[in-house]
Amino acid sequence: MLLGAHLRRLREAQGVSREDAGWEIRASESKISRMELGRVSFKERDVEDLLTLYGLVDNEERERLLSLARQANTPGWWHRYGDVLPNWFQSYLGLEAAASMIRTYEVQFVPGLLQTADYARAVVLLGHGRARPEEIDRRVDLRMRRQSILDRPDVVQLWAVIDEAVLRRPVGSRAAMRGQIEALIDATGSKSVHLQVLPFRVGGHSAAGGAFSILRFPDQELPDIVYVEQLSSALYLDKRDDVELYVDAMERLCVEADPPERAADTLRKILKDI
Amino acid sequence: MAEDAEANGLDQDRTQIDTTVPQSARIYDYWLGGKDNFAPDRAVAEALAAQIPTIRTMVRSQRVFLVRAVDYLVRKAGIRQFLDIGTGIPSLDNVHEVAQRIAPECRILYVDNDPIVLAHARALMTSTEEGRTAFILSDLRQPQAILDNPVLRETLDLDRPVALFLVGVLHHLHDSDDPRGLIATLLQALPSGSYFALTQPTADFDASAMGGMAATAEQSGIPYVPRGRAEVEEFLSGLTVVEPGLVPIPAWNPLDLDYPGSAEVDRDPYSVYGWAAVARKP
């Protein structure tokens, strides 16, 4: 998907239409579209031809993008979880693992990257209550594996705004909920996690629409990507105008929410009420 | 909790975010290659860059000066406390990162009048265990409000020297804002042995380019006042200016600190249209 974003940036900079790009690699306009969205695998030769069409002659830069193509074709660790992973979510895991900053807003659940195993299990059961126990285990495992990215604080930062409702609504047992709040209190001490609670006393606010995430990548030329999850699919937005609407909403949320230094106190108060 | 929020100026400032109006912090972010800016900010940033094509280099050199000045003050002047007004959106190497890398116990109070800057700074500019970073939403034009904010005393010990940083901010003050008076008020609150670091864009090196820059900025609603050498000297009156004195921004490098992004202007410091100095309060 990152390579796709590069390809789109280069194509647009050269003013080449999707149709013409498709012609160049003996494919359809929609194939180009799918490549740019990271929905199909990349043939190295196609990528080479496109880079030439887009006037990219710098060898080092070509090699860098071609290596992205090879990487994109190498399955990530999550590939082993294919049975419990819809395709539209696989792209997200790739982006999450490549991100340098993940800003997220949650209204219903604790962000996946901060969930405890017990809490995650309760969430999974809400959606897949009739699944076999082994499948439930695999879904929980998958979520726990994702969290390893936070062990590299120099690499990725997670900046989360969590609605107070997330912390008040019981998910799973009382013990699971307490364990989750305690884990969040621990997380506030982490160098890579920045947590803001959006308290009830803040009235209607800017992101009334619901949860979303904005991912930023270490490569400055890549656009930020907005991820909005739906029941059976997800939106990935990377057009500047679209992204900016979400960034604007996120900035408002961050200004409206309690500052990060107050998160631990708020969580401790909530823990007392459970 | 509501009381704390009010004390920190949060509640009354909730409504102030308006990303349809260009904002200087986001314009700088754009020039520095950041992504925390919006279409109106970029439009102004590009219009300004048309007046001074080297603007990105100038803005970077301002950041380089900041790094060099912090480095110098921690290493050579024993400074462990900083008051940075006009912080801007967190960038590479903010004051506390440079200072705490050398002396982890350094304490830094950041002040900005942009709520988005405050939100980013609070979330991302975290201190070492030994030191402290704190943030207040306040305006340089109300220095007494900055000094009276309880967070200032919680963060800085005003019986010990403090370095006041006004980097990339003085030109956003009109003369009618009385910059000399504001500086005097702030410095008066700091003890002897404190320092003052400033940058100030100037028309002294290229009057027409800087004139175009200022006019374009003002038209976009961004105050922009270039000042001549004599005016900057007035900002420093009563203080002892440390070597190398009041110089073009890239030329301020007493410790010969190598820092990425500076080589291009090191050859010709006058290609950056701004003055810089660090001075000590006797």
Tell me the count of A-B CB pairs closer than 8 A. Answer: 57
Whether pLDDT at A253 is above 50: yes
Enumerate the residues of chain A whose CB falls inside 8 A of the CB of residue B119.
Answer: 251, 254-255, 259
The mean pLDDT of A76-96, rounded to a whole number, is 82
Using a pLDDT cut of 90, give the percent of chain A over it: 46
pLDDT of residue B151: 96
Tell me the DSSP string of A155-221.
Answer: T-EEEEEEEHHHHHS--S-HHHHHHHHHHHHHHTTSTTEEEEEE-TTS-S-TTTT--EEEEE-SSTT
State the burial class of residue A58 (Cβ atoms within 10 Å of its Cβ: 0-12, 13-18, 19+).
exposed
The closest CB to that of A252, out of B17, B36, B38, belongs to B17
Chain A within 8 Å of B115 (Cβ-Cβ)? yes
Name the phi and psi angles at B277, rounded to 5. -160, 155
Q: Cβ distance B199 to B170 under 8 Å?
A: yes
Q: Cβ distance A260 to A178 under 8 Å?
A: no
pLDDT of residue B8: 45
How many whole angstroms separate alpha carbon A101 and alpha carbon B121? Answer: 14
The mean pLDDT of B110-130, rounded to a whole number, is 92
Q: Which of B4-13, B150-159, B181-190 has the lowest mean pLDDT?
A: B4-13
Of residues B144 and A93, more confidently modeled: B144
For residue A157, what is the nearest residue in chain B, using CA coordinates? Answer: B124
Please name every residue paired with A102 in a beta bridge, in sequence order, or none if there are none: A158, A215
Tell me the C-alpha to C-alpha distance, in Å, between residue A196 and each of A147, A255, A270, B26, B136.
Answer: 19, 10, 14, 22, 17
Q: Cβ distance B229 to B277 under 8 Å?
A: no
Enumerate the residues of chain B whose CB falls inside 8 A of the CB of residue A202.
Answer: 14
- Using one digit for the tens of pLDDT, what is the confidence trace for B15-57? 468 888 899 999 999 998 899 999 999 999 999 999 988 898 8
pLDDT of residue A209: 72
Residue contact A254–B8, C-beta within 8 A: no
Residue contact A159–B17, C-beta within 8 A: no
Residue contact A259–B122, C-beta within 8 A: yes
Enumerate the residues of chain A whose CB falls inside 8 A of the CB of residue B39.
Answer: 240-241, 244
Closest CA–CA distance from residue A258 to any residue of chain B (Å): 8
The mean pLDDT of B131-157, rounded to a whole number, is 96
The mean pLDDT of B119-141, rounded to a whole number, is 93
Is the peptide bond prior to A199 cis by the omega test (within 30 degrees of 0)? no
Q: Which of A58-62, A152-156, A230-234, B5-9 has the lowest mean pLDDT?
A: B5-9
The closest CB to that of B35, out of A201, A224, A256, belongs to A224
How many whole angstroms separate alpha carbon A215 and alpha carbon A213? Answer: 6
Residues of A with CB under 8 A from a CB of B: 157, 159, 191, 194, 196, 199, 201-202, 216, 220, 223-224, 240-241, 244, 247-248, 251-252, 254-256, 258-262, 266
Chain A within 8 Å of B38 (Cβ-Cβ)? yes
The mean pLDDT of B137-164, rounded to a whole number, is 97
State the DSSP code for A76: P
Using a pLDDT cut of 90, give the percent of chain B over it: 78
* Cα B63 to chain centroid, rounded: 9
pTM: 0.85
Residue B190 pLDDT level (bands cut at 50, 70, 90) = very high
Whether pLDDT at B68 is above 50: yes
Of residues B253 and B8, more confidently modeled: B253
pLDDT of residue B12: 43
Residue B262 pLDDT level (bands cut at 50, 70, 90) = low
Q: Where are the beta strands (DSSP E) in chain B?
A: 81-85, 107-112, 132-137, 163-166, 195-201, 240-241, 247-248, 274-280
Residue contact B5–A258, C-beta within 8 A: yes
pLDDT of residue A90: 82
Whether pLDDT at A205 is above 70: no
Q: What value does the mean pLDDT of chain A take?
A: 88
Enumerate the residues of chain B whose CB falls inside 8 A of the CB of residue A226.
Answer: none
pLDDT of residue A31: 86
Q: Which two tokens stand for residue B2?
A: 């509501």
Tell me, what amino acid is at B11? D
Residue A76 pLDDT level (bands cut at 50, 70, 90) = confident
- Using one digit for the tens of pLDDT, what is the confidence trace for A215-231? 999 888 888 999 998 87
pLDDT of residue A66: 85
Residues 6+ apart with CB under 8 A from B184: none
Tell me the C-alpha to C-alpha distance, in Å, between residue A58 and each of A51, A63, A65, B14.
Answer: 10, 9, 11, 47
The closest CB to that of A256, out of B14, B118, B126, belongs to B14
The closest CB to that of A254, out of B4, B5, B123, belongs to B123
Residue A207 pLDDT level (bands cut at 50, 70, 90) = low
Residue contact A157–B124, C-beta within 8 A: yes
How many whole angstroms separate alpha carbon B188 and alpha carbon B192? Answer: 9
Enumerate the residues of chain A whose CB falls inside 8 A of the CB of residue B118.
Answer: 255
Closest CA–CA distance from residue B92 to any residue of chain A (Å): 13
